[in-house]
């Protein structure tokens, strides 16, 4: 790295899912260690990095319009380096460099360990050809045992996370921990298997160590991340790559080793992993995980969730559609009946579990009858909330090649709004059921909208501030406290008595037991 690097400031903007948020955090750690400083103004930074998402066209358009604005500034003489990270360059490839000449370099999500050298080249103004200005996986990891080398570097990136005491000041007491990279499911509409590569599970000891170190810095809540997180399965000693070829695994300390193993007791399942984190990191008061895949839920996972008090009673398990015909075209690998069987089983084992989901409306050939089946599914499951998306055809997916995007825009919009309306009624009822209960809230922040004192303000009355947090079941809850104690409650778990509700919100007051503390 050049001696000029430390004086450079970086603006980093993140789009997309929790994986990207975590990657951005690791990028920030990595580049701060090298002497860069992070800056919250895009207009004056020396380097602008976008960590991008490609899951829907809209997500890509957002970042491309930012690039357009910066191109104009660059043409007007602004000296700024632009780097595009994440899923969009991985999906689109090097052609982005010719389409958008203002972009200095591209770095895919599986190549983030290459970022410092890409950035250094750009700072030094080394004139490189297109290939040297991009670090992209280009599906390499799906091909061979070269996987282990790439994996090594990625594992190093996760292990490079800084656990300094400043962590709490900058990131709060809640942290993401990756347990699985990539995805092997190939749902026909989805870019993720192409952008994030083959599914690779991290060694359980590395995950536990990371949780312990986070807990030592004061973190009390972790969210385990994977595209199909409950599919986690680590075979010690020997692993198979996507082609079924044995590759050496990376053990703790990153020495590649290969030794013969007896099958049964050398596998760590997702249920084992949850239980180990719960037992071995007692400082963690909340353990969550996203996103779950409906088909991989054995009773072992649900039973561990029931028996381990600090594992949250929350599941995000997208159904995507309520029609078997559409689920088949999506290659989701389950039927509506199987999905409902899973929901019934989850509720039988964990009665207070809250379930959230995702739905795609307007998938090619979706009829009113298919849509009605989705309405029925939503009414039956009673999700605490559902994220509803229009189908967006994505280059490189099976669906864009095989099916015409034949559901008109206005029909997609109507179906989306209808699902949102029905969902709001159900969420309203789910939330209302909490009125009168005293529940633990993990306080996340001082809510932006300050409490408005109504009527005459009495002089001796302290100003109130609204705090916002979440229940273990992931319901958002706001409550008012006196201004002088507000900051000290952020990052704590407090007990709140719920007095009111709205479709996506609980409102309450600190419980008497809490006030007495």
- Please give the residue ranges that form the binding site for ligand SAH (CB under 6 A): 55-56, 189-190, 192, 227-228, 291, 318, 320, 358, 360, 389, 391-392, 394
> What sign results for the dihedral spanned by CA atoms 163, 169, 173, 176?
negative
Cβ closest to ligand SF4, residue 151 vs residue 296: 296
Query: Is residue 185 a contact point for ligand SF4 (CB under 6 A)?
Result: yes
Q: How far is the CB of 438 from ligand SAH (least distance, A)?
A: 33
87, 214, 277, 346: residue in contact with ligand F3S (rule CB under 6 A)? 87
Beta strands 200-201 and 9-14, pairing class: unpaired
Say which residues have a Cβ less than 8 Å from residue 304's Cβ, sequence separation at least 6. Answer: 271, 274, 275, 278, 311
In the region spanning residues 287 to 346, those forming contacts with ligand SF4, defined by CB under 6 A, are 293
Which among ligand F3S, ligand SAH, ligand SF4, none contacts residue 87 (Cβ within 5 to 8 A by kind)? ligand F3S
* x/- letters, 46..65, toward ligand F3S (CB under 6 A): -------xxx----------
* x/- letters, 186..205, toward ligand SF4 (CB under 6 A): xx--x-xx------------
Q: How far is the CB of 392 from ligand SAH (least distance, A)?
A: 4
Q: How far is the CB of 239 from ligand SF4 (least distance, A)?
A: 19
Cβ closest to ligand SAH, residue 287 vs residue 359: 359
Q: How far is the CB of 288 from ligand F3S (least distance, A)?
A: 17
Task: For residue 289, list its beta bridge partners.
Answer: 224
Query: Is residue 16 a contact point for ligand F3S (CB under 6 A)?
Result: yes
Count CB atoms within 10 A of the CB of residue 269. Answer: 19
Which among ligand SF4, ligand F3S, ligand SAH, none contacts residue 322 (Cβ within 5 to 8 A by kind)? none
Which among ligand SF4, ligand SAH, ligand F3S, none contacts residue 339 (Cβ within 5 to 8 A by kind)? none
> What sign results for the dihedral spanned by CA atoms 245, 246, 247, 249?
positive
Instruction: Give first-to-last CA distance, the chain, whole Å.
Output: 52
Query: Is residue 148 a contact point for ligand F3S (CB under 6 A)?
Result: no
30, 52, 223, 227: residue in contact with ligand SF4 (rule CB under 6 A)? 227
Which among ligand SAH, ligand F3S, ligand SF4, none contacts residue 56 (Cβ within 5 to 8 A by kind)? ligand SAH
Cβ closest to ligand SAH, residue 183 vs residue 430: 183
Q: How far is the CB of 305 from ligand SAH (least distance, A)?
A: 18
Query: Is residue 257 a contact point for ligand SF4 (CB under 6 A)?
Result: no
Nearest residue to ligand F3S on Cβ basis: 16
CA distance linking residue 310 with residue 40, whole number of Å: 35
SS (H, E, C) 284-349: CCEEEEECCCHHHCCHHHHHHHHHCCCECCEEECCCECCCHHHHHHCCCCCCHHHHHHHHHHHHHH
In the region spanning residues 314 to 343, those forming contacts with ligand F3S, defined by CB under 6 A, are none
Phi-psi region of 462 (alpha: psi -120 to 50; beta: other; left: phi over 0): beta
Which residue pairs, CB below 8 angstroms and at least 24 apart, start in 346-349? 346/297, 346/302, 346/315, 349/299, 349/302, 349/303, 349/305, 349/306
CA distance linking residue 334 with residue 322, whole number of Å: 11
Which among ligand SF4, ligand SAH, ligand F3S, none contacts residue 20 (Cβ within 5 to 8 A by kind)? ligand F3S
CA distance linking residue 208 with residue 382, whole number of Å: 34
In the region spanning residues 196 to 255, those forming contacts with ligand F3S, defined by CB under 6 A, are 196
Query: Is residue 112 a contact point for ligand F3S (CB under 6 A)?
Result: no
Cβ closest to ligand SAH, residue 362 vs residue 491: 362
Burial of 368 (0-12, 13-18, 19+ CB in 10 A): exposed
Asked if residues 103 and 82 have their Cβ atoms less than 8 Å apart, the reply is: yes
Cβ closest to ligand SAH, residue 36 vs residue 389: 389
Q: How far is the CB of 108 from ligand SF4 (least distance, A)?
A: 16
Of 498, 404, 395, 474, nearest in space to 88 by CA: 395
Instruction: Give the interface segment with ligand F3S, choosing from 16-24, 211-219, 299-307, 377-385 (CB under 6 A).
Output: 16-24
CA distance linking residue 87 with residue 110, whole number of Å: 9
Asked if residues 36 and 67 have their Cβ atoms less than 8 Å apart, the reply is: no
Q: How far is the CB of 511 from ligand SAH (least distance, A)?
A: 35
Asked if residues 128 and 105 have their Cβ atoms less than 8 Å apart, the reply is: no
CA distance linking residue 12 with residue 213, whole number of Å: 25
Beta strands 81-86 and 105-107, pairing class: parallel
12, 157, 175, 192: residue in contact with ligand F3S (rule CB under 6 A)? 192
CA distance linking residue 437 with residue 116, whole number of Å: 51
Binding footprint of ligand F3S on the chain (CB under 6 A) = 16-17, 19-20, 53-55, 86-87, 191-192, 195-196
């Amino acid at each position: 790295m050049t001696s000029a690097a430390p004086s450079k400031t970086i603006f980093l903007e993140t789009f997309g899912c929790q994986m990207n948020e975590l990657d951005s955090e690791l990028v920030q750690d990595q580049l701060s260690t090298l002497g860069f400083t992070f800056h919250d103004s895009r207009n004056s930074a020396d380097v602008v990095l976008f960590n991008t998402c490609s899951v829907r066209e809209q997500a890509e358009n957002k970042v491309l319009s930012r690039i357009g604005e910066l191109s104009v500034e660059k043409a007007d003489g602004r000296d700024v380096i632009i780097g595009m990270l994440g899923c969009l360059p991985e999906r689109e490839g090097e052609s982005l460099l010719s389409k958008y000449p203002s972009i200095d370099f591209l770095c895919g999500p599986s190549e983030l360990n290459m970022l410092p050298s890409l950035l250094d080249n750009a700072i030094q103004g080394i004139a490189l050809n297109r290939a040297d200005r991009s670090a992209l996986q280009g599906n390499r990891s799906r091909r061979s045992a070269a996987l282990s080398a790439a994996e090594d570097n990625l594992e190093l990136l996760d292990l490079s996370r800084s656990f300094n005491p400043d962590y709490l000041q900058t990131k709060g007491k809640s942290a993401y921990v990756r347990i699985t990279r990539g995805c092997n499911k190939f749902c026909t509409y989805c870019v993720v298997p192409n952008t994030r590569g083959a599914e690779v599970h991290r060694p359980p000891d590395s995950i536990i160590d990371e949780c312990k170190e986070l807990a030592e810095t004061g973190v009390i809540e972790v969210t385990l991340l994977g595209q199909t997180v409950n599919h986690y399965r680590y075979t010690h000693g020997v692993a198979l790559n996507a082609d079924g070829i044995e590759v050496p695994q990376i053990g703790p300390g990153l020495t590649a080793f290969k030794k013969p193993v007896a099958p049964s007791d050398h596998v760590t399942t997702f249920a084992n992993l949850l239980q180990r984190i719960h037992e071995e990191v007692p400082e963690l008061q909340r353990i969550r995980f996203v996103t779950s895949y409906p088909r991989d839920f054995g009773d072992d996972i649900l039973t561990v969730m029931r028996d381990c008090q600090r594992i949250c009673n929350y599941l995000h398990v997208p159904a995507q559609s309520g029609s078997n015909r559409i689920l088949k075209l999506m290659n989701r690998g389950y039927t509506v009946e199987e999905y409902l069987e899973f929901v019934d089983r989850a509720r039988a084992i964990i009665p207070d579990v809250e379930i959230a989901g995702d739905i795609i409306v307007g998938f090619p050939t979706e009829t009113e009858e298919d849509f009605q089946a989705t309405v029925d599914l939503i009414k039956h499951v009673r999700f605490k909330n559902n994220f509803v998306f229009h189908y967006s055809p994505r280059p490189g997916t099976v669906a864009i090649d095989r099916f015409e995007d034949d559901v008109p825009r206005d029909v997609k919009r109507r179906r989306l709004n209808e699902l949102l309306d029905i969902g709001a009624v159900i969420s309203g009822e789910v939330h209302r059921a909490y009125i009168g209960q005293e529940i633990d809230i993990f306080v996340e922040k001082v809510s932006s909208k300050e409490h408005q004192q109504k009527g005459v303000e009495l002089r001796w009355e302290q100003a109130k501030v609204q705090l916002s947090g979440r229940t273990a079941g992931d319901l958002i809850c706001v409550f008012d406290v006196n201004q002088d104690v507000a900051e000290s409650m952020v990052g704590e778990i407090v007990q709140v008595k719920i007095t009111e509700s709205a479709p996506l919100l609980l409102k309450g007051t600190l419980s008497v037991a809490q006030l007495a503390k």
